[in-house]
Amino acid sequence: MLDPDRFFHFSTPGSQEWWYFDAISDDGRYAVVIVWYAGLPFDPDYGVATLRHLKDPSRYPAPDPLDHAAIGLSLYDRGKTVAYALNRYAADRFSHTAEPFEVAIAGSHVSRDADGYRLHVETPARDGLRTILADLRFTPAFATGSLERDLGGAGGPHHWILAAADCRVEGSIRLGEDDGPAIEFHGRGYHDHNAGAEEISAAWVRWRWGRVHIGNKTSIYYQAEPRDGRKRSLWVVCEDGQPVDVRDDVPLRLDEWRRNPLGIRYASSLAVEGAQWRHRNLVDYGPFYLRWLSEFTVGGETATGICELLEAAKLHNPWFNWMIPYRLKRPKR
């Protein structure tokens, strides 16, 4: 079986790859999202340089994805952002090891051993005044198995890999040395891996994704809308981390349409057969991206999960690019 964390290292212009981890604490107070990027698709420097190259390759060289490596972290406390970092680094600050698996970007790294994943983050916060320190252990459920789908269109593959759907998460998060004691985190988490050979704004219309843990089950949806391919909706149910019910092209019902303050139109109620979820708490938003802590009801039981929406057509739009530097930083360390 192929390693779900293997490095695709696509070299096509605009290609991107990321290893995504999230967790919600047992008491529901905290949620954390941490992502390692090999080619940050949200970096306007990368996107604009790629689009120029695709339009006139003789004049504009193709950018190196690894010159846009990044580490991202978002920490939410009772649905409010209390720590945020999205820091970009050049290729010499990125490294990857296949066996044992490890990805490192500047002072932050994720590695895997026989017991699971160890995440260490040491990166400046968005304000530049604090250093966010996180040490977390993700231990996958005993039956964990991976699942892989190519959800790309004719413009190129986009691999979505469910690597560890259900993990026990333990560790600590500290927000600077002077912000009180570390947060002792105990919760349940999720890990997947995306790798695409396309420039997202040119190849995709949008995608929707979300996941929830209820009992020993994890339910995940992923709806992909490539520009040069058919829309695909994937619904996956795992038991103790093992995919047991995988439905390709399942009808996804979208209702209760709204707009966020920057004009993104989204459905606040979504459903597939036997499951429904509502976007209750918008914790992160921008001109092309939304993230919620959402209320899922599956099999008559309700719990909080995490959902995301990307409107790819709005990426690298000059009307919005000026906003990105407020979030995306390029620290020297």
Per-residue pLDDT at 156: 87
Domains in the chain: ranges and CATH: 16-326 (2.40.370.10)
Per-residue pLDDT at 320: 67
Which are the contacts of 240, defined by CB distance < 8 A and separation ≥ 6? 141, 142, 143, 144, 166, 216
- Side chain identity, residue 197: A
Per-residue pLDDT at 116: 98
Per-residue pLDDT at 276: 97
CA distance to 78, 185, 291, per residue, from 27 (Å): 10, 10, 20
Residue closest to 171 by CA, chosen among 140, 213, 142, 134: 134
Burial (CB < 10 A; 0-12, 13-18, 19+), residue 139, is: middle
Per-residue pLDDT at 322: 64
Per-residue pLDDT at 179: 66
Per-residue pLDDT at 22: 98
Residue with tokens 């599956």: 298
- Side chain identity, residue 52: R
Per-residue pLDDT at 286: 85
Per-residue pLDDT at 128: 87
b/e sequence 248-283, b meaning 16+ C-beta within 10 Å: eebebeeeeeeebeeebebbbebbbeebbbbbeebb
Q: Virtual CA dihedral for 166, 311, 33, 128, nearest 10 degrees?
A: 170
Residue with tokens 């604490």: 25
b/e sequence 180-219, b meaning 16+ C-beta within 10 Å: eeebebebbbbbbbbbbbbbbbbbbebbbbbbbbbeebbb
Per-residue pLDDT at 319: 66
Report residue 148 CA to chain centroid gap.
16
Residue 57, helix vs strand vs coil: coil
Q: What is the pLDDT along the chain (333 residues), one digit of tens a residue?
A: 799 999 999 989 999 999 999 999 999 999 999 999 999 999 999 999 999 999 999 999 999 999 999 999 999 999 999 999 999 999 999 999 999 999 999 999 999 999 999 999 999 999 888 999 999 999 999 999 999 999 998 778 999 999 999 999 999 999 987 667 899 999 999 999 999 999 999 899 999 999 999 999 999 999 999 998 788 999 999 999 999 999 999 999 999 999 988 889 999 999 998 899 999 999 999 889 999 999 999 999 999 999 999 999 888 777 667 667 678 999 977
Q: CA end-to-end span of the chain, whole Å? A: 37
CA pair distance 327, 27, nearest whole angstrom: 29
